[in-house]
Structure 1
Amino acid sequence: MSPMRNRHLTALLFALLVNSTGAFAAGDYKPVTDARLKQAAQDDGWLMYRRDYTSSGFAPFDTINTGNVANLKTVWDYKTGFDMGHEAPPIVNGDYLFVTTPKNQLIAFQASTGKQLWKYEHDLSNTGLKTICCDVVNRGVALYGDKVYMATLDNRVVALDAKTGKVAWNEQLNAPDVGYAMTLAPLVVKGMVIVGVSGGEYGARGFVAALDAETGKQVWKRHTIPAPNEPGGDTWPEGAYKTGGGAAWLTGSYDADTDTLFWGVGNPGPWLATLRPGDNLYTDSVIAIEPKTGKIKWHYQYTPNDSWDYDGTNETVLTDIDYNGVKHKALVTASRNGWFYAIDRTDGKLIYAEKFAHATSVSGFKDGKPQTDPAMRPDVGKEVFTCPSFLGGKNWWPISVDPQTHMAYVPTLHTCMTMKGATVNYKAGLPFLGETFKVVADPDNKDTWGSVQAIDIDTGKQVWRHPSELPWNGGMLSTAGGLLFSGSADGYLYAFDAKTGKVLWKSPQMSSGVLGVPSTWKVDGKQYVAVYAGWGGGVPIWGGDMAKDPRVKNIPLGGHLYVFSL
């Protein structure tokens, strides 16, 4: 055999070997287009934080179903080496999987095998992390074109080549070390990477910003606390808007039919409401935004003049409902204040609100506006006992809405709190609260810190409930296989019958408790389900009596990604 022919044969054999071991050719990555994002609900991958623009957390896959879910096994796993909270879902395009860790590492894997393709480690060596609430977490990435995008703790958005991990651009949105940070997963809409900022506990003035996906150039920036000359500016005392909070620290939703972006806004600063009389727009609200310009179309405020850190950042799921025989294009959300809201997404009018947790501070509604109980308002020298605690009836971990059952699945906390006012002065980089507090057990749920519950979205009423002695801090994933997946604080991934709440499968115990958001995808017709174990976040830091409970206090730490399949 000639040397030349031998070299050709060797090259051919090498190429076959490379392909058989799962390596990728340059053409293996399918670009994520606007059309694919618009149709993400039907994609075999998991293209964005809550799967699709409606934030449904529902996948139309039934390969894994109620009849065979008991056969799920771990097919690959990965230890991150971090002992902080792990909150990101795996984001999947084809056979590429992207997942972030605490402190802004981004890792790409082959989705079907777990083969590591590349790792990006963001440089935080010159960044003070002491002003980041709560825990140095990250909630995932966005995909567009051939790039993957991550928001960072030092207020940057980084774009990387999805195939290689090479940095395409790295843009600073705000100076680090002044109480601002970004922990959310970006959302891409019409070629713009949209992010929001954290920092409401430090008097940061919240904002939502849009960057050009190709260049990183800022397209617009919308502050969530209006200046005096802007609509809503008169709901603040003079000068208070500059330190008014309103962090926009969770990923929004998008209605392509009306070209409207929906974004949740967090608590006002300082916490003590008597220091800032007025409704304090747009804190504790959902705002409807024109994506081209950042203009606010309308808002709905869940908790006016909030004095309990009830936020309004929780995800809004876009869904159609039939309430009392009238059909509505709605958005639904389980608010921190303990109420489950259905709001008309075309005009921001309240359709209904129903309690899903013990709620005393927000006592009812008048003309569609929440009413708060003056007796539940703390002040300097006045301590109150109120429910839920500032951790909320539900915190950031997302609900899922299943179009087959027409139910929302809500990870619920059962806590109350004592809270008392205190004097406070603003200083950049220091907590801006003006209140002391202690999380305690809910007297209506003495033996359960948490639960999973199903709510009929047409009525807001509970259908079933799975109680938990430990807090339930895992996100929700529902599928066309009739299943609901969610992870528990003691380290199990559960599969519930979505209709009844019956536990159909429980994984072997994982290495840590679950804060992570599960996702599911298909490669070559095979369905996978994955979730992060990695306890941390706000509960161990701020959880009061709940955090001191030995069952909670002794939850082991350590980030570990688990991928399951049949």
Structure 2
Amino acid sequence: MPLGAGENWDNPGGDWGESHFSRLETINPGNVSRMGLAWEYDLGTSRVQEATPVVIDGVMYTSGNLGRVYALNAATGEELWTFTPELDMQVNRFACCDQANRGVAVSGDKVMVAALDGRLWALDRATGEPVWSVDTVVDHTRGYTSTGAPEVAGDLVVIGNGGSEYDARGYVTAYNIADGSQAWRFFTIPHDPAEGPQENPELVPALETWSEETRWDIGGGGTAWDAIVYDPKFDQVIVGTGNGGPYPQAVRSPGGGDNLYLNSLVALDRETGRMNWHFQETPQDNWDLTATQPMILTSLDIDGEQRPVILHTPKNGFFFVVDRENGYAHAANPIVRTNWADGFDMEAQRPNITMEDADYSNGPKIVFPGSPGARNWYPAAYDPTRDTYFAHVLDMGNLLFLPGPVDNVERKEKALNAGAAIIFTPDLEAAAATLPPPLRAAVQAQAAWEWVKQKPFESQLRAIDPMTGETKWAVEQLGWQDRNGVLATQSGLVFHGNVAGTVFARDADTGEALWSIETGSTIMAAPMTYMVDGVQYVAVQTGWGGGGWGFVPRYSAAYSKGNANRILVFRLDGGQVAIPEDLPPLQPAPEPPEQFADATPEMIARGAAMFTENCTMCHSNQPRAGLPDLRRMNRGIHGGFQQIVRGGLFVSRGMPQFEDLLSEEDVHAIHAWLISVQGPLRERELELQEKGLPLDTQSLTILSNY
């Protein structure tokens, strides 16, 4: 089997095992301090960048938000061609985690990308012209999107979809690379048995793990939005599946059950799509603990025998080493605090679930890890020469509670159907103080409250032993939102960026920073490396976004300098990076119009609730958030508010139309609430301006001290 990840980096994961590991050694600990900028390319956007580029024979191919594709000369950055998919911007309404795209697949003369609306495109590798495209969405009445990179498996390309929170049912589809015709499709969870036979025979036993009262109408979840990898040794495609939808099992599958194949690794025969084996990492999911995080394929010595394995660190807090031949877990060790399970039963091959600590169907519960996950989409790297796994790890929880009764939940078409409310532990002590006394007492009486008080979160880059889960070294990150992908090299280096815009090269054995360079652009994506004409380069894409993308951390470059989307490429003896200028100082909010004559306290409260439900996914109402802070609307925007929200006036700018979801009265109430908060915001900011204080929301908390 070829090793890969030499001069070429032929898929987003680098080599055949997608280990984000390079065997190049020109750049090494002895000379890495000489690195500087070789070239940069402006991606022409200011949204999320999560892709790792592909480089083959001196050409770089990469994707940007929405599924844009770029082909560049890998030695100079010269643009060869670009592609922007045509898509209905209404898809923004049900893209839970921004307009992300995690990369392209290259096979023969084609470059393939999945656009946000679920259409898979095959482009001519030389020109970027479309060769074929296919709509991968099975039901457009549901909130399907695509954000992951397609996976090449022989003469097939495989892609999944996102949307578990939005009423979707998961599946993956394989298409023939030659012409885009469908080869097979595998649904990850059953459908309502009243609607007829299941599409796949493996769904028949899976159905027994769902209750008879299952809310099939809401969707069920299990979407495969990332983590699809081809295993050539067994000619199988291994798929990581997503969370249940809605989150609470008491709503989704009343009466319980493991709910297969949620939160599982599923191995499918490449030719037929039939299942070889499955391994469920989080049975009975209530907590959004997906198994869609990137997998790495390798071999490890286990009891004196080399076994083909998967290294997998899903959201649920465990490090799994799973046999690729049969799905058996050789190791399952916690790497963060977990209280949804207190360990893993190796004999039973399942976690020891502790529902008394994590079942929030009868009251709020603090659950570790939280829904952002101990690990998430940002790739890890595995160095087989050191038997070390390098990854960002987030040790954080959240408070989960039901916003209403479990027996009175209606499906919301192509809208959020998560069914649970969440407060992350970094904010929990402050939030708990505002809760009604009985509820506050119930939260603070939980054992996990001590965890919150001792350490609300820990965000680290770690070097981990795969079989034991033990940390060899760790480096603290700037905050819980500072999460990033990793590149490891055979020369003994680990590369990563951070949200403040610094790129680091660290000693793989100690974690010591051997080199760093400031870029002024937030970095989340994993770097990669390649060689052209004997010169080794290291490249990374920059841009803030993803889950919680509207809540831009103040320690990020995106907050202070804007969200510059660039490809930055470094080499030995390169130059300096051009740093974007600071954004201009924030000005006080404009004076709002007069409040509506019919605006009652009840209407304003209703508007606040509807804004939270329908608008906060994009409009976090924080300064520097990337999309407009609607507390800062000028008179013209106020005047056209109904036309913008219901009439689609700004659809061309990416603002979806809500006429089918919100009535004029609904929008009127939302508008009334925005007017009610804009005036006080302006007054507070004028006072801050008088005192010479910065006008961000963090500064408002210190106003009482002056």
When normalised by structure 1's length, the TM-score is 0.88
Residue aligning to 2:120: 157
Question: What is the CA-CA distance between 1:448 and the residue it aligns to?
Answer: 6.1
Name the Cα RMSD after superposition: 2.0
Question: What is the CA-CA distance between 1:86 and the residue it aligns to?
Answer: 0.4
Question: What is the CA-CA distance between 1:259 and the residue it aligns to?
Answer: 1.2
Q: Does 1:406 align with 2:406?
A: no
Residue aligning to 1:13: none
The letter of the residue matching 1:274 is A
Identity of aligned residues (%): 33
CA distance in 2, matches of 1:256, 1:289: 12
CA contact 2:5–2:21 (8 Å) conserved in 1: no
Larger radius of gyration between Structure 1 and Structure 2: 2
Q: Does 1:234 align with 2:234?
A: no
CA distance in 2, matches of 1:40, 1:107: 26
CA contact 1:127–1:154 (8 Å) conserved in 2: no
CA contact 1:362–1:370 (8 Å) conserved in 2: yes
CA distance in 1, matches of 2:188, 2:12: 22
Question: What is the CA-CA distance between 1:325 and the residue it aligns to?
Answer: 4.8
CA distance in 1, matches of 2:75, 2:227: 27
CA distance in 2, matches of 1:440, 1:549: 16
CA contact 2:277–2:327 (8 Å) conserved in 1: yes
CA distance in 2, matches of 1:326, 1:459: 17
After superposition, what is the alpha-carbon deviation per residue over 1:97-140, rounded to whole angstroms, capped at 9, x for unaligned?
11111122111100000000111111124543110120011111
Q: Does 1:303 align with 2:282?
A: yes
The letter of the residue matching 2:402 is G
SS state of the match for residue 165, structure 2?
A: helix
Residue aligning to 1:343: 322
Match runs of 1:180-259 below 5 Å: 180-227=144-191, 228=193, 229=198, 230-238=204-212, 240-241=215-216, 243-259=219-235
The letter of the residue matching 2:536 is Q
Residue aligning to 1:495: 505
> Following superposition, which runs of at least 4 residues in structure 1 exceed 6 angstroms of deviation?
none
Residue aligning to 1:551: 555
Q: Does 1:504 align with 2:514?
A: yes
CA contact 2:133–2:180 (8 Å) conserved in 1: yes
Q: Does 1:140 align with 2:121?
A: no
The letter of the residue matching 2:232 is A
Moved more, 458-467 or 140-149: 458-467
After superposition, what is the alpha-carbon deviation per residue over 1:152-179, rounded to whole angstroms, capped at 9, x for unaligned?
1111110111111111011111155630
Residue aligning to 2:93: 130
Moved more, 169-178 or 198-207: 169-178
CA contact 1:381–1:422 (8 Å) conserved in 2: no
Q: Does 1:271 align with 2:247?
A: yes
Question: What is the CA-CA distance between 1:322 and the residue it aligns to?
Answer: 2.8
After superposition, what is the alpha-carbon deviation per residue over 1:299-358, rounded to whole angstroms, capped at 9, x for unaligned?
111110111101011122112223455543221111201111111221111111111112
Aligned counterpart for 2:417 among listed residues 422, 429, 432: 432
Residue aligning to 2:477: 468
Cα distance change, pair 356–528 in 1 and its aligned pair in 2 (3 A): same
CA contact 2:227–2:294 (8 Å) conserved in 1: yes
Q: Does 1:418 align with 2:422?
A: no
CA contact 1:323–1:459 (8 Å) conserved in 2: no
The letter of the residue matching 2:486 is M
SS state of the match for residue 63, structure 1?
A: coil
Q: Does 1:120 align with 2:103?
A: no
The letter of the residue matching 1:537 is G
CA contact 1:92–1:521 (8 Å) conserved in 2: yes
Question: What is the CA-CA distance between 1:562 and the residue it aligns to?
Answer: 0.5
Question: What is the CA-CA distance between 1:459 and the residue it aligns to?
Answer: 2.5
Residue aligning to 1:15: none
Question: What is the CA-CA distance between 1:203 and the residue it aligns to?
Answer: 2.0
CA contact 1:127–1:177 (8 Å) conserved in 2: no
CA distance in 2, matches of 1:251, 1:519: 18
Question: What is the CA-CA distance between 1:258 and the residue it aligns to?
Answer: 1.4
CA contact 1:511–1:560 (8 Å) conserved in 2: no
Cα distance change, pair 198–48 in 1 and its aligned pair in 2 (3 A): same
Cα distance change, pair 549–161 in 1 and its aligned pair in 2 (3 A): closer
Cα distance change, pair 491–123 in 1 and its aligned pair in 2 (3 A): same
CA distance in 1, matches of 2:349, 2:2: 34
Cα distance change, pair 177–138 in 1 and its aligned pair in 2 (3 A): farther
Aligned counterpart for 2:11 among listed residues 19, 30, 48: 48
CA contact 2:160–2:225 (8 Å) conserved in 1: yes
Residue aligning to 1:363: 342
Residue aligning to 2:644: none
Aligned counterpart for 1:317 among listed residues 296, 315, 333: 296
When normalised by structure 2's length, the TM-score is 0.71
CA contact 1:378–1:420 (8 Å) conserved in 2: no
Structure 1 spans left out of the alignment, 5+ residues: 1-37, 542-546
CA distance in 1, matches of 2:93, 2:454: 34
Structure 2 spans left out of the alignment, 5+ residues: 199-203, 427-450, 573-706
The letter of the residue matching 1:213 is I
The letter of the residue matching 2:142 is V
Residue aligning to 2:65: 102
Question: What is the CA-CA distance between 1:498 and the residue it aligns to?
Answer: 0.9
CA distance in 1, matches of 2:21, 2:134: 32
Cα distance change, pair 108–247 in 1 and its aligned pair in 2 (3 A): same
CA distance in 2, matches of 1:534, 1:338: 27
SS state of the match for residue 347, structure 1?
A: coil
The letter of the residue matching 2:27 is I
Question: What is the CA-CA distance between 1:444 and the residue it aligns to?
Answer: 8.0
CA contact 2:249–2:285 (8 Å) conserved in 1: yes
Q: Does 1:261 align with 2:237?
A: yes
CA contact 1:127–1:176 (8 Å) conserved in 2: no
CA contact 2:163–2:221 (8 Å) conserved in 1: yes
Question: What is the CA-CA distance between 1:364 and the residue it aligns to?
Answer: 1.3
Cα distance change, pair 486–241 in 1 and its aligned pair in 2 (3 A): farther
CA distance in 2, matches of 1:464, 1:483: 14
The structure with more strand, counted as a fraction of residues: 1
Moved more, 236-245 or 304-313: 236-245
Cα distance change, pair 455–177 in 1 and its aligned pair in 2 (3 A): same
CA distance in 1, matches of 2:29, 2:89: 50
CA distance in 2, matches of 1:325, 1:274: 45
Residue aligning to 2:271: 292
CA distance in 2, matches of 1:120, 1:311: 31
CA contact 1:40–1:47 (8 Å) conserved in 2: no
